[in-house]
Structure 1
Amino acid sequence: MTALETQLSTHSRRFRAEIDPITLPQVQRAIPHGAVLLEWVHYRPFNPKAIKQEPRWSVPRYAVYLLKRQGAPVLVDLGDAEAIETRVAELLAAVRHPGGMQAVQLLAQALEQQLVQPLRAHLGPAQQLLLSPDGALNLLPFGVLQDAQGHSLAEQYELTYLTSGRDLLRPAAPARTSKPTLLVADPDFGPLKSSLGTAAVEQRRSVDFNRGALRFGPLAGTAQEAQALRALLKLKPSQVLTQGRATETALKKVHGPKILHLATHGFFLTDLPEDLHTSSRGAGLEPTQRPSAPQRENPLLRSGLALAGANQLRSGPDDDGILTALEVASLDLQGTELAVLSACETGVGDVHTGEGVYGLRRALVLAGVRTQVASLWKVDDAATTEFMVAYYGHVQAGLGRSAALRAVQRAMQQDPARTHPYYWAAFVVIGDPSPLPRAHAAATTTSGK
């Protein structure tokens, strides 16, 4: 095994970066100026002096390590995990639907007191927070948290999510010739079954309804989004795949576009029994049709994206139109600087304590994407189009990938029609927060000439 790892390391910088040991000074040097890395941990205190029937392990708790470019790391214990996770669940339930702003504020302030206030004395003049959550905190929109004066964390800091501090040391992909941008939007999913009817599908980019037999209705906003982004980014027709061309097969043939934008239905199956046969890809089966299968299903089969032909599970000779996270992980996205998933729940998945989220978020990292923009809940269709057009405008202007998201969020917070976090807080940036390399940004704006 050691010989094999040595051989792979010789030929793959990415593999070498994943297995080589790293040191604290290496991570510190990679932290941007003005930033603080926050590594949350979910743990159970151990009592080595316990005797006889005394429990050796206490109830789970959360703690966080703070790391700056200079100085020793600081450890802060945050308290009982169950109490924190209960409030996280309550806040998520409150922000996933517009309305009840007062309840959102109370919950956001309570969580800020638990998760952020104990760190304030150590943050100093920091302007950017690099967030590496653990457990249920992976699904928390930290930008929503508010201090006692009602100022959200998104107002106070630029926020970026990481799997761990090791992400800061990921080597940049070698330059390669490829299309600078690929836009996949408004797929033709095919007709819905008459028993369902289109009324069953809300104009939100999610399909957590009828989980035993996933069906996907058209999203008018994605067509408008495609038109707006094509004009803004000056894309050639070959760089925009819509309707019948927005297929699973076409996406699998992609090789490292610098920017990949996917505007379609996303899904995450939270309550699917772990007895679904892998060939079904977690979609299109009625509960009575589920065959016997292994006891444990790969969590990367529980989330994915819908593409052309998904309603009939036919997309060309070999594909079914359901692109699972497992299939996303096998895409060739080495060299992709930015992947934007303009769909709902693309940032969620099965949460594994100490290992992060197993879903599209993890799959894109495995595929080679350097930075991704993903969502944590069902997204309003019209608001998403507005959000994405504004985001790309800021990226083109030279803002960092995280700074651009923050700029859009702050602008929407000032809009009376969009001030509820439901509209502006769903999307998060995961990975490299820096501006796109200028060659990439320039290529995006000149590709249509």
Structure 2
Amino acid sequence: RELLRMGVPLGQKKEQSNFPEKPFSIYDAQKLSLKGSDEVLLKYCVLKDMTYLFVVSKKNIVTIKINLVGDDLEDMIVSLRDPIDKLQNITDTSAFYKSLEEVDLNVANTLYNSLIEPAREYIKGARVLLIVPSGVLSYLPFEMLVEKVGERKKNTDVIFAEFSDSTYLTEEFSVNYAASAKKFSKKGGISLSQFKHDLSGKLLSIGDYGGLAKDLVTVFGKDTKILKEAEATKAGFKELAQKFPFVNISLPVWIDDDISRTGIIFSEQKNNRILSELLNAYELYSLNSDPKFFVLDNCEYNLSSYKKDNGIEYLLNSLTGSGSSAVLNLWRLDEKTAGDFLKEFFSLLTETTSTSDVVDVMSLTKIKLKQAVKELGSSPHKISYSHPYFWASFVLEGRSYHQ
């Protein structure tokens, strides 16, 4: 049943299946999901006692057994993320930096060797990796996986400089994600050319994480519809979202194995009380009657999310219905970092003159930020954005462009 859910053909007759239609197989993926020979699809199937990787290119379909199983993967991903996830409870700057220094690139290297290296001969020369994760892998930005750990020499003048000499996956590939291989076969979606036309009044922004909405006005014009968190209601959002192709959401996200309890949390003050309403995955999916481009820039997952394997897939499927695509952060960022990333991303989208896909612009944004060294106000020190915290969190879900 799990293999069927992942789209692996097992030869069952249609009437014996619990599915209303034939599962989208890896053979369908080879024919329909790949746009060209420069794309390779990596489809992971994480089970309790085994993990499989299906590598799909225009020339090959290969099945690889991975040496890490569900519990081992969860332990490693939690270990890798823990210093970043702890930041939600840290307010002191020095403690903030100290926690980030604990991110273990050796764990990122072990994950690279287990999840990517076995497919090396089949992805060599590819430009884009189309990744379909499974379970806890949905919480891992593959771009931060490390092919080679550097010497990590510290620089007394530049904070996090020791993260700059390691080799990350993002330096070799653009990465596009989807909850299922079938999502990559969808036609339509948001094309890069739409970012080059008049965008005035095309954006609905809910919440205002770190003043980001004001920055987006410089891209989408003064007619951008902005609702501060206190003004945003579930009913109002559902009505307005139908009218805008670009939707920025700065509200908390709740993940649960029950699809009706997975979604975006709206808070409304009534009679001196804060009332919360959940826009669940079903309702979010219904907003995708026309393709949209969603940006979730303030995802704050509940602490038990890693155990909710199906919940994250529910959320991603609801965001990418009807050919829609989404950018969301896999861990919560401080306001400045989130703003820096999205301002760079949207700026590159509107300025580019190439025929690149949005996934390539996402990759370029990560690389530019990774190379950045920024001033720290009046401090004599500078800060290197080479640490994955600053550039790896945002991921692109769903097809963003079709030629």
Instruction: With the length of structure 2 as denominator, give the TM-score of the two structures.
Output: 0.72
CA RMSD of aligned residues (A): 3.3
- Work out the CA distance in 2 between the residues paired with 1:427 and 1:121: 28
CA contact (8 A) 1:257 1:333 kept: no
Kept in 1: contact 2:189–2:325 (CA 8 A): no
Confirm whether residue 402 of structure 1 aligns to residue 359 of structure 2: yes
C-alpha offsets along residues 401-421 of structure 1, whole Å, 9 cap, x if unaligned?
Answer: 222222221122112432222
Q: What letter corresponds to residue 397 of structure 1 in structure 2? A: E
**1:396 match: secondary structure:** helix
Shift of 1:83: 2.5
Is the contact between residue 130 and residue 160 of structure 1 (CA under 8 Å) also seen in structure 2?
yes
Q: 1:345, CA displacement in angstroms? A: 3.7
Which of 76, 82, 88 is 2:64 aligned to?
A: 76
Indicate the residue corresponding to 2:266 in structure 1.
306
**Alpha-carbon offset, residue 148 of structure 1:** 1.9
Quote the Cα distance in structure 2 between the aligned partners of 1:357 and 1:162: 11
Over 6 Å off, 4+ runs: none
Larger radius of gyration: 1
- Where in structure 2 are the equivalents of 1:250-269 lying within 5 Å? 250-254=236-240, 255=242, 257-262=244-249, 264-268=250-254
Contact 2:299 2:330 in 1 (8 A): yes
Cα contact 2:200–2:221 (8 A) shared by 1: no
How big is each residue's C-alpha offset from its partner over 1:44-84, in whole Å with a ceiling of 9 and x where there is no partner? 6xxxxxxxxxxxxxxx111101001233x111111131323
Q: What's the CA shift for 1:257?
A: 2.2
Instruction: Say yes or no: does 1:66 pair with 2:21.
Output: no
Q: What 5-or-longer segments of structure 2 have no aligned partner? A: 1-19, 88-96, 150-165, 192-198, 374-382
- Separation (CA, whole Å) in 2 of partners of 1:169 and 1:31: 7
CA distance in 2, matches of 1:431, 1:346: 20
Q: Distance in 2 between matches of 1:142 and 1:261?
A: 24
Indicate the residue corresponding to 1:391 in structure 2. 345
Percent of matched pairs sharing the same residue: 18
Residues 358/345 of structure 1: CA separation in 2 closer, same or farther (3 Å cut): farther
Contact 1:40 1:64 in 2 (8 A): yes
For 1:291, the equivalent position in structure 2 comes to: none
**TM-fit CA distance, 1:161:** 0.8
Aligned residues: 332
Matched residue type, 1:233: F
SS of residue in 2 equivalent to 1:80: coil
1:229 aligns with 2:216: yes
Q: Quick one: distance in 2 between partners of 1:74 and 1:268?
A: 36
Cα deviations by residue, 1:248-275 (Å, 9 ceiling, x for unpaired): 222110315211111x2313367xxxxx
Letter in 1 for 2:294: A
Unaligned runs of 5+ in 1: 1-17, 45-59, 188-218, 271-296, 315-319, 438-449
1:155 aligned onto 2:171: yes
The answer (yes or no) to whether the contact 2:190–2:401 under 8 Å persists in 1 is: no
Which residue is 2:202 aligned to?
181
Does residue 42 of the first structure (1) align with residue 29 of the second (2)?
no
Task: Flag the 1:299–1:359 CA change in 2: closer, same or farther, 3 A.
Answer: same
Structure 1 residue 140: Cα displacement:
1.0
Shift of 1:327: 5.9
Q: Distance in 2 between matches of 1:397 and 1:169?
A: 27
Q: Give the direction of change, closer, same or farther, for the CA distance of 1:173–1:241 in structure 2 (3 Å limit).
A: same
TM-score scaled by length of structure 1? 0.65
- The DSSP-based 3-state class of the residue aligned with 1:250 is helix
CA distance in 2, matches of 1:174, 1:420: 30
CA distance in 1, matches of 2:108, 2:339: 26
Supply the distance in 2 between the matched residues of 1:110 and 1:66 (Cα, whole angstroms).
Answer: 19
Once residues 25 and 316 of structure 2 are traced to their aligned partners in structure 1, the CA distance between those partners, rounded to angstroms, is 26
Aligned-partner SS, 2:372: coil
Shifted more, 82-91 versus 34-43: the winner is 82-91
